Amino acid sequence: MSYNLINSFIGCLKRYAVFSGRACRSEFWFWQLATFIISFVISFVVSMATDPQTGSLASQLLCLVVLLPNLAVSVRRLHDTGRSGWNILLALIPFIGAVILIVFWCQASQGGNKYGEGPLAPEA
Using an 8 Å Cβ cutoff, are 14 and 68 in contact? Answer: no
* Residue 117, domain member (yes or no): no
CA–CA distance, 56 with 42 (Å, rounded to integer): 9
Residues 6 or more apart in contact with residue 44 via CB below 8 angstroms: 55
Return all residues near 40 (Cβ < 8 A) that are at least 6 apart: 59
Nearest to 8 by CA among 66, 60, 58, 47: 66
Digit-coded pLDDT (tens) for 20-57: 989 889 899 999 999 999 888 887 888 777 777 776 77
Q: Is residue 124 part of a domain?
A: no
Q: Quick check: is 62 in a domain?
A: yes
* C-alpha span between 63 and 55 (Å, rounded): 13
Residue 112 in domain: no
Domains contained in the chain, number: 1
Q: In this model, does residue 62 exceed pLDDT 90?
A: no
Residue 122 lies in a domain: no
Q: What is the mean pLDDT of residues 86-114?
A: 92
CA-CA distance, 75 to 43, in Å (whole number)? Answer: 27
Other residues' Cβ atoms within 10 Å of the Cβ of residue 55: 18
pTM for the structure as a whole: 0.84
